[in-house]
Amino acid sequence: MQPNLSVNIGKLKLKNPVMVASGTFGYAEEFRHFLDLKELGAIVTKTITLNPRQGNRPPRTCETPSGMLNAIGLENPGINAFLREKLPALKKYKVPVIVSIASEDDPDEFIAMARKLDSINAVSAIELNISCPNIKNHRLRDEKQPLISQDPLTTYRLLTRVRKVTKKTLITKLSPNVTSIGDIAQACERGGSDAVSLINTLLGMSINIESRRPKLASVCGGLSGPAIKPIAVRMVWEAYNKIRLPIIGMGGIMNSSDAVEFIIAGATAVSLGTVNFVDPAAAVSIIKGIKEYCRCHNTGDIKELRGSIRIES
């Protein structure tokens, strides 16, 4: 039996549920010597901002037990340079390209970028990264207006504005640094998002005890890797029970068993992050592992696994 691994995310049909997460796979070309990019379900680009960003000063990464901290600060060439220099190379792989976008300190920048991307055929979908924990927002952190990723009403208002300027599939990337991930997910659904992806990194810090200085120049950064997987799985399950939108699960996926766990919790697809630094070809082996799991469990369609967790009442 050849199991069907195809899934739908909004208007997108992916041949398998495995994609690579923003910020961990560059612009994909960097990984072309390690794996066949055509095998991926989708490619999510490094997050782009309206204007070029140099990012935070180094050191910007450090290892932690079962994970890593990063405070890259969304280093990128800006949307115009991305469209001119990075996007053309991705067309040849004929894999859905999801462009991740973020605002530096003004929600209007989301609108401007979404409008620009709407007319570009090579862009299959837009990911609204409203949840990056390691950039210093000002207007987005104003006391009169709560941080977008942590407030349902502000999230809803942003989604309704973006939805008006693009017909592309919209995926909203959610922060785990909230009281109720389900409330934010519902706000995305009401606002017009076609899917949600979760979770982004957790805010953390690490200290060099000899120098008594933070290991990151920016002091705090985003924690990722296996250490956060139980939190991510729990939040995917919570969101699945609150919304009908497709969920892209991420957070500490290192192998196919991890990926299947997210799908059983309610994810339609999964996105690989930190594992790409450990094994650049991990995505291919994870796709094969999911297929083998389906064969071993007589599952003809990956959709049968979604949300199939068994909880005794």
pLDDT in tens, 16-42: 999 999 999 989 989 999 999 999 999
Q: What is the pLDDT of residue 148?
A: 80
Per the annotation, the verdict on 132 as an active-site residue is yes
Q: What is the pLDDT of residue 131?
A: 81
Q: What is the pLDDT of residue 149?
A: 82
Q: What is the pLDDT of residue 219?
A: 96
Contacts 24+ apart (CB under 8 A), 213-219: 215/59, 215/62, 215/69, 216/56, 216/59, 216/60, 216/61, 216/62, 216/69, 216/71, 217/56, 217/57, 217/58, 217/59, 217/60, 217/71, 218/56, 218/57, 218/60, 218/71, 218/73, 218/134
Q: What is the pLDDT of residue 90?
A: 92
- Global pTM reads 0.95
10 Å CB burial of residue 78 (0-12, 13-18, 19+) is middle
pLDDT level of residue 150 (50, 70, 90 thresholds)? confident
Q: What is the pLDDT of residue 313?
A: 77
- What integer is the mean pLDDT of 225-244? 98
Catalytic residue among 132, 220, 294, 296: 132
* Domains of the chain by residue range: 7-55+72-201+224-304
Least confident of 11-20, 26-35, 258-267, 279-288: 26-35
pLDDT level of residue 202 (50, 70, 90 thresholds)? very high
Given a cut of 90, whether residue 271 has pLDDT beyond it is yes
β-strand pairing of 207-208 with 202-205? unpaired
For the domain spanning 7-55+72-201+224-304, the CATH number is: 3.20.20.70
- Choose between 136 and 69: higher pLDDT: 69
